[in-house]
């Protein structure tokens, strides 16, 4: 593994925003009016998946909805200056057209407490979950349904906008409908862009804080580097998941392979920053229907006791891809590592912050970094991948900061770090448990 003990000392620009990220459904618990909760109760949820033994419903998650006051104290005690969180639409509008004022009061209190601690809050307005009633009406698959989202935002935004320092309309809007899909999925991709644009312009009425939607920035990589088809399909995957969105936001042109191009002036320029969620690279195998091929076995880190799609460290991908985003400021809204052994997280953090710094040196205007995630949480189908800086006991809900949280706190305090810093938090590199069968 990389020699993180010898990393050169680096410093980040004055005012660099350091924080962590979470999402409502993954930490709050009892999010019973959401489509995600509904799906978790269905028998199909536990079938059709080779990992079904690891599948579990979200249940109480981290019980954050109850423990949020303590969690604000926790965030502050870890030295975080910023926090990215999401608000659950299904709590505020559990029944179509009916507002739950208690749920709203909860979020207002949470936001207020964060602001009082001097923490900049970045709010995600849609992080994978929405009311079950909205899903039953066809969700974002139906363009006309945008009006429901619009009505909800019109209710919510004026109440929270004074407390928000940055906005994500939708989380990872570029991965809706699958990552490597053909023309059939284009209408949904167009819908997501237009929903984003609608949110962007609506927020502008109430807030001067910067707005974007988080982009799942996948670094596609040809499995056989010499193979012409693998390379072409790598370009294809990069286009449909990355470049299509960048181009649309920059120009208003929705140009997707296999469908007639469209122009939408509302989409053009509908961002104030690039919001980047980066984890690792993905292999493109053009001989597989889904394109998403297996990793190089020698780079696969078995960091949790199940197979998972993010078990490689590929920090170079962060530097390389950030160079594509030179026209607006950039915030890394998610980046993190799931590992049972916390030492992997320290290595991951050190490598990715170095890679990020390299992008800064190359002239990319990166303004902030949000580690995913503040605490171990519900990873959509399972509790096994542990991304947290803070461990959560899912029986007692007790929070315990890990060594990586202390490492990160020192980085924030010093606005930089080096191999010396790493040495104080890491006695030795974690050993590789070997390949997953
Ligand atoms: C991202 C999601 C986030 C979390 C991480 C691991 O794609 O935005 O909610 O699941 O992956």
- Per residue in 187-196, pLDDT (tens digit) is 999 999 999 9
CA pair distance 119, 47, nearest whole angstrom: 42
pLDDT above 70: percentage of residues in the chain: 97
Q: 220 by DSSP, 3-state: which?
A: strand
Choosing from 86, 172, 218, 311 the residue with most ligand 1 atoms within 8 A of its CB, the one to mutate for a pocket test is 172
- The number of the ligand 1 atom at minimal distance from the alpha carbon of 216 is 7
Whose CA is closest to atom 10 on ligand 1? 379
CA pair distance 161, 355, nearest whole angstrom: 33
pLDDT at 95: 98
Residue 400's pLDDT band (boundaries 50, 70, 90)? very high
**Over the stretch 184-238, which tens digit does the pLDDT of each residue have?**
899 999 999 999 999 999 999 999 999 999 999 999 999 999 999 999 999 999 9
pLDDT at 306: 86
Choosing from 31, 372, 387 the residue with most ligand 1 atoms within 8 A of its CB, the one to mutate for a pocket test is 372
> Which residues surround ligand 1 with Cβ inside 6 Å?
23, 26, 171-172, 216, 277, 334, 372, 379-380, 387
pLDDT at 48: 67
**Over the stretch 158-175, which tens digit does the pLDDT of each residue have?**
999 999 999 999 999 998
pLDDT over threshold 60, residue 388: yes
- The number of the ligand 1 atom at minimal distance from the alpha carbon of 387 is 6
pLDDT at 436: 44
Q: Return mean pLDDT, the chain.
A: 95
Instruction: Single out the catalytic residue among 135, 172, 312, 358.
Output: 172
**Over the stretch 257-310, which tens digit does the pLDDT of each residue have?**
999 999 999 999 999 999 999 999 999 999 998 888 888 888 888 898 888 889
Produce one character per residue of 292-308: b if its CB has 16 or more CB atoms within 10 Å, e if not: bbebeeeebbbbbeeeb
Whose CA is closest to atom 9 on ligand 1? 23
Is 311 catalytic? The answer is no
DSSP 373-403: -SB----SS-S-S---SEEE-TTT--EEE-H
Whether 55 and 45 have beta carbons less than 8 Å apart is answered as yes
Whether 61 and 27 have beta carbons less than 8 Å apart is answered as yes
pLDDT at 290: 86
Q: Which of 234, 408, 423 is nearest to 317 (CA)?
A: 234
| pTM (predicted TM-score) | 0.97
Give 183 Cα–ligand 1 centroid separation in angstroms: 25
Q: How many CB atoms lie within 10 A of CB 112?
A: 15
Q: Among positive and negative, which fits the CA dihedral 53, 283, 172, 187?
A: negative
Question: Using CA atoms in the order 312, 314, 315, 318, what is the torsion angle rounded to 10 degrees?
Answer: -110
pLDDT over threshold 90, residue 179: no
Question: Using CA atoms in the order 115, 81, 379, 245, what is the torsion angle rounded to 10 degrees?
Answer: 90
Q: Between helices 64-77 and 101-116, what is the axis angle to 10°?
A: 10
Give 203 Cα–ligand 1 centroid separation in angstroms: 24
Whose CA is closest to atom 4 on ligand 1? 379
pLDDT at 437: 38
Pairing of strands 330-334, 366-372: parallel
pLDDT at 21: 99
pLDDT at 379: 98
**Over the stretch 52-107, which tens digit does the pLDDT of each residue have?**
678 999 999 999 999 999 999 999 999 999 999 999 999 999 999 999 999 999 99
**Over the stretch 138-161, which tens digit does the pLDDT of each residue have?**
999 999 999 999 999 999 999 999
Q: What are phi and psi of 347, to 5 degrees?
A: -60, -45
In this structure, what token pair is assigned to residue 432?
Answer: 């590789």
pLDDT at 239: 95
């Amino acid at each position: 593994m990389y020699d993180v003990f010898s990393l050169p000392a680096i410093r980040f620009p004055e005012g660099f925003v350091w924080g962590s990220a979470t999402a409502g459904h993954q930490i709050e618990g009892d999010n019973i009016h959401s489509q995600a909760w509904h799906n978790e109760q269905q028998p199909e949820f536990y079938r059709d998946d080779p990992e079904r033994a690891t599948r579990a419903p979200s249940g109480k998650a981290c019980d954050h909805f109850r423990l949020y006051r303590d969690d604000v104290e926790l965030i502050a005690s870890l030295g975080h200056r910023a926090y990215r969180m999401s608000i659950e639409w299904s709590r505020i509008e559990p029944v179509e057209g009916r507002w739950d004022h208690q749920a709203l009061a909860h979020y207002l209190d949470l936001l207020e407490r964060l602001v009082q601690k001097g923490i900049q809050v970045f709010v995600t307005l849609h992080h994978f979950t929405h009311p079950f009633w909205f899903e039953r009406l066809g969700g974002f698959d139906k363009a006309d349904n945008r009006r429901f989202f619009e009505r909800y935002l019109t209710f919510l935004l004026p109440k929270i906008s004074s407390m928000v320092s940055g906005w994500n309309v939708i989380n990872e809007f570029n991965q809706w409908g699958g990552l490597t899909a053909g023309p059939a999925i284009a209408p949904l991709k167009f819908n997501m862009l237009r929903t984003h644009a609608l949110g962007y312009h609506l927020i502008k009425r109430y807030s001067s804080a910067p707005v974007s939607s988080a982009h799942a920035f996948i670094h596609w990589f040809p499995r056989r580097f010499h193979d012409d088809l693998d390379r072409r399909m790598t370009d294809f995957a990069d286009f449909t998941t990355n470049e299509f969105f960048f181009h649309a936001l920059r120009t208003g042109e929705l140009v997707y392979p296999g469908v007639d191009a469209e122009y939408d002036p509302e989409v053009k320029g509908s961002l104030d920053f690039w919001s980047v969620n980066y984890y690792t690279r993905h292999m493109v195998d053009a001989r597989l229907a889904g394109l998403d091929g297996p990793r190089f076995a020698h780079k696969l880190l078995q960091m949790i006791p199940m197979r998972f799609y993010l078990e490689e460290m590929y920090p170079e991908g962060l530097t390389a891809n950030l160079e594509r985003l030179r026209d607006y400021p950039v915030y890394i809204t998610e980046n993190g590592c799931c590992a049972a052994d916390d030492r992997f997280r320290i290595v991951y953090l050190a490598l990715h912050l170095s890679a990020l710094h390299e992008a800064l040196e190359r002239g990319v205007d990166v303004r902030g970094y949000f580690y995913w995630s503040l605490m171990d949480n519900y990873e959509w189908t399972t509790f096994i991948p542990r991304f947290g800086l803070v461990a959560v006991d899912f029986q007692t809900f007790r929070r315990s900061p890990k060594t990586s949280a202390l490492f990160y706190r020192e980085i924030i305090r010093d606005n930089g770090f080096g191999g010396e810093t790493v040495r104080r938090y890491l006695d030795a590199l974690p050993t590789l448990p070997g390949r997953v069968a």
